Amino acid sequence: MAGVTEFAVWNYELGLRAPRPQHLEALARALGVDPAALTDYRVETAHDALEVLFRLEEGFGARSEADTAGARVVSTPSRPVPRSSTRRSGRGCRSARGGIRGRSPTRSASTGSAGSAGKRIEERGCMGLSQSAKLSILNKDSISIATGIVAVTETALAVSGVSLHDVIPGQAWWAYLLIMLAVFTVLVVSIHFVLARLYRERIELEINGNQVEIVEGDLFAQDGKKVIPFNEYFDSIVNDIIISRSSLNGAFIDCYVDDLDELRGAIEDDNSSPLPVDVYKGRRRYDLGTIKRFGEDYLLLAFSHFDGYNQAHLTMAEYERCLMNMWQELCRVYAGRSISLPLLGSGITRFSDVQRKSEGELLKCMLCTLSSTGQSFSKPINIVLTSEAMSRVDLYEMKGVSRYGL
């Protein structure tokens, strides 16, 4: 149909491939519909939803309103607003300055109740839809590879003049259909099993040209620079009140810091970060994402707020902004060496505005923010997971970040 093969249409419907513009127009003509009716706009995150609201505002004069009955979008088609000639950049996580990537912070802040609409779906953050709400990357790849094998086999048989009727003669049409479905199902299941086994313990990804490896292991045993999370004050007292001995922060200070005064001096003396610092109750409080150097191998990260009850906490939006700041800071200080990071947010830090995120969601957000910042590292980035965290993460799903930006 319309010069597009049946297998191609099947892949389009499964979401395994996207049609080229000329194929999309040909399909639309054959079906007698507008090409826009076949276009997938993919609203999967809060930022995608805000992008749609901006486009409605620019194209149709739409505006968001809110009252006691809820929020809604109101269109004024009699006064359409001309489209801006500026192209919008792709989807991404929250920028380091708090705006949406590709849009100025002022514009983002001025959207009024559109921001509240985004807030209601902010729980998904840069994580996208839950895995139960969409076909997983592993399932997609398994089906795609199986489809390719079937297509190649079918072509080879057709060229050689052999058909399924010749191989298994005398069967009804539905029997041949069942045989094909059974073979295809076995192929998909087998490929799924092989791929899952291959990527069970480690995976290598390419994020915007950066080599990222996700591994199970001991962070302190890794080569190169190692990122250690602290609170926003860079506290160094390990007493199970301010810093827990069982935390990565506590283990670092107890086992790898010989002189606390040297650690505190290094933190005080390193004022190279461009991120803001304020003073709260007589103490320096650093912007989340700030990096301090300690020795040749350690990079200390201001990762969480610290309240009056000695609890580390931050919101999901602050987590994303912290990661965006962190990647920019790491690019400033990594000195051409490999970087190893823990799975940030998987410890005792509390998210004050959402339910606790799974290890897979946190890992995906770390990769998403790296992609959004556009930072470039000449050496590999290693994200080191504990065996417990690794057992709860589907590594193959992380391919979605490097492939689709999910």
Count structural domains, the chain: 3
Domain boundary among 94, 110, 126: 126
- The Cα-based distances of 313 to 47, 84, 272, 319, 352 in angstroms read 23, 40, 26, 10, 6
387 domain residue, yes or no: yes
Q: Do 85 and 109 belong to one domain?
A: yes
Instruction: Specify the range with the lowest mean pLDDT, choosing from 77-91, 293-307, 338-352.
Output: 77-91
The single residue listed with the structure tokens 């190893």 is 340
* Structure-model confidence comparison of residues 97 and 399, the more confident one: 399
Q: Is residue 1 part of a domain?
A: no
**Quick one: how far is CA 117 from the chain centroid?**
21
Domain assignment of residue 73, yes or no: yes
Of 107-121, 197-211, 281-295, which one has max mean pLDDT?
281-295
Residue 86 pLDDT = 37
Q: Are residues 112 and 260 in the same domain?
A: no
Q: Confidence class of residue 102 from pLDDT cuts 50, 70 and 90? A: very low
Percent of the chain with pLDDT over 90: 41
Shared-domain flag, residues 173 and 266 = no
Does the pLDDT value for residue 235 go beyond 90?
yes
User: At 385, which CATH number?
Assistant: 3.40.220.10
Pairing of strands 225-231, 210-216: unpaired
Confidence at residue 321, expressed as pLDDT on a 0 to 100 scale: 92
User: Bigger pLDDT: 63 or 226?
Assistant: 226
CA dihedral (223, 221, 253, 392) positive or negative: positive
Asked whether residue 247 falls in the same domain as residue 187, the answer is no
pLDDT value of residue 200: 82
Residue 171 is predicted with a pLDDT of 80
Whether 154 and 171 share a structural domain: yes
Indicate whether 91 and 227 sit together in one domain: no
Q: What confidence tier does 94 reach under pLDDT thresholds 50, 70, 90?
A: very low
What's the pLDDT at 74?
66
| Average of per-residue pLDDT values in the chain | 78
- pLDDT band, residue 80 (cuts 50/70/90): very low
The 10s digit of each residue's pLDDT in 122-180 is 334 454 444 443 568 888 899 999 999 999 988 888 888 887 777 788 888 888 889 88
Residues 348 and 340: their CA atoms lie apart, in Å, by 20
* Boundaries of domain holding 73: 6-126
Residues 6 or more apart whose CB falls under 8 angstroms from that of 147 comprise 7, 10, 11, 16, 184
- pTM equals 0.62
**Does residue 185 or residue 26 have the better pLDDT?**
185
Q: Do residues 184 and 292 share a domain?
A: no
Whether 23 maps to a domain, the answer reads: yes
State the average pLDDT over residues 52-65: 67
397 located within any domain? yes
Q: What is the pLDDT of residue 66?
A: 61
- Do 31 and 175 lie in one domain? The reply is no
Distances (CA, A) of 330 to 39, 69, 236, 334, 336: 38, 46, 21, 6, 10
Q: What is the pLDDT of residue 81?
A: 42
Mean pLDDT of 347-354: 79
Report the pLDDT averaged over residues 4-15. 62
- The residue written with tokens 């999910």 in the block is 406
Confidence of residue 95 (pLDDT cuts 50, 70, 90): very low
**More reliable by pLDDT, 126 or 402:** 402
Is residue 265, in this structure, part of any structural domain at all?
Answer: yes
Could you tell me if 298 and 373 lie in one domain?
yes
Q: What gap in Å lies between CA 224 and CA 299, rounded to an integer?
A: 10
- Look at residue 346 and tell me if it is in a domain: yes
> Of all residues in the chain, what percent carry a pLDDT higher than 70?
71
- The pLDDT of 18-35, averaged and rounded, is 79
Looking at the structure, do residues 253 and 321 belong to the same domain, yes or no?
A: yes
Domain boundary among 198, 221, 251: 198
Whether residues 400 and 254 fall in one domain: yes
pLDDT of residue 328: 95
User: Does 159 share its domain with 274?
Assistant: no
What is the CA 5 to chain-centroid distance, rounded? 33
Cα angle for residues 80, 86, 88 (degrees, 5° grid): 95
Last residue of a domain, one of 126, 148, 172: 126
Residue 145 lies in a domain: yes
